[in-house]
Amino acid sequence: MTLREKRIQENLGLVHSCANRFKGRGVEYDDLFQAGCVGLIKAVDGFDESLGYVFSTYAVPAILGEIKRIFRDGGAVKISRLIKEKSRWVWNEKEKLANEIGREPTVKEIAEYLNLDICEASELLLAFQPTVSLTSICDDSSEKQFDIPVESKEAEITEKMSLATCLRELDEKDRTLIEFRYFRSKTQTEVANIMGMSQVQVSRREKKILKGIREKMRV
């Protein structure tokens, strides 16, 4: 796996976090995620480590920019004929693999089978799926709205990845304080003794750090 592919995969959680901000605004989540992936790839290709920026700080605006473009363009992400043809090929090969192994293959297995990276395989699988309408016509010709359920496990993973990003962006002293309190189960008094602070100072600083993290994750 190249450094570029690794960075893309490691930051897919950022795409989910950004896409979740726009759920319920009339655009399918898959389209939001696909646009976010485009932004992530552009960010990876344009990132310059020598400037000293944290990658997530550089990537989030690029991801959000691509997602917001969907709303400016007034529709879902447009898929080219070439992508559709490649996506159809992936689905055909997926069926062959399923017959060989006797079950539905995972995205990772499909990617390895076709010599693709996981990110590309995921996008191609999504590209060929039909759009699901948020409204349906009932037998009496009335229109009914329904919600598309979201897997709670995915939401949990996304939140954890968002939290990890927030923690990486803290300065060293604040990150150490949070690590002692929540990952090593130290009391505020113990942390105060280790870090040369008073218990009151630890308490105030902890509250300020947690408030900042909540605000970042809520945006």
Residue type, 119: C
Percentage of residues in the chain having pLDDT higher than 90: 9
pLDDT at position 143, please?
A: 47
CB-CB contact of 163 with 48 (8 Å): no
Q: Is the pLDDT of residue 131 over 50?
A: no
- Residue-wise pLDDT for 165-177, tens only, equals 778 888 899 989 9
**Domain extents in the chain:** 1-77, 79-133, 166-218
Domain 79-133 carries which CATH code? 1.10.10.10
Distance separating alpha carbons of residues 133 and 47, to the nearest angstrom:
37
Q: Is the pLDDT of residue 9 over 60?
A: yes
Q: How does residue 78 score in pLDDT terms, banded at 50, 70 and 90?
A: low
Domain at 1-77, CATH from 1.20.1260.10, 1.20.120.1810, 3.40.1190.20, 1.10.101.10: 1.20.120.1810
Q: Mean pLDDT throughout 204-209?
A: 90
CB-CB contact of 168 with 54 (8 Å): yes
- Residue-wise pLDDT for 35-64, tens only, equals 888 889 988 888 887 777 778 878 888 898
- Residue-wise pLDDT for 109-119, tens only, equals 888 888 887 76
β-strand partners of 136: 144
Q: Is the pLDDT of residue 193 over 90?
A: yes
Residue of 4, 37, 46, 6 whose CA lies nearest to 19: 37
Please check whether the domain covering 166-218 is classified as CATH 1.10.10.
yes
pLDDT at position 156, please?
A: 56
Domain 1-77 shares a fold with domain 79-133: no
pLDDT at position 3, please?
A: 82
CA angle, residues 42, 61, 155, in degrees to nearest 5: 95
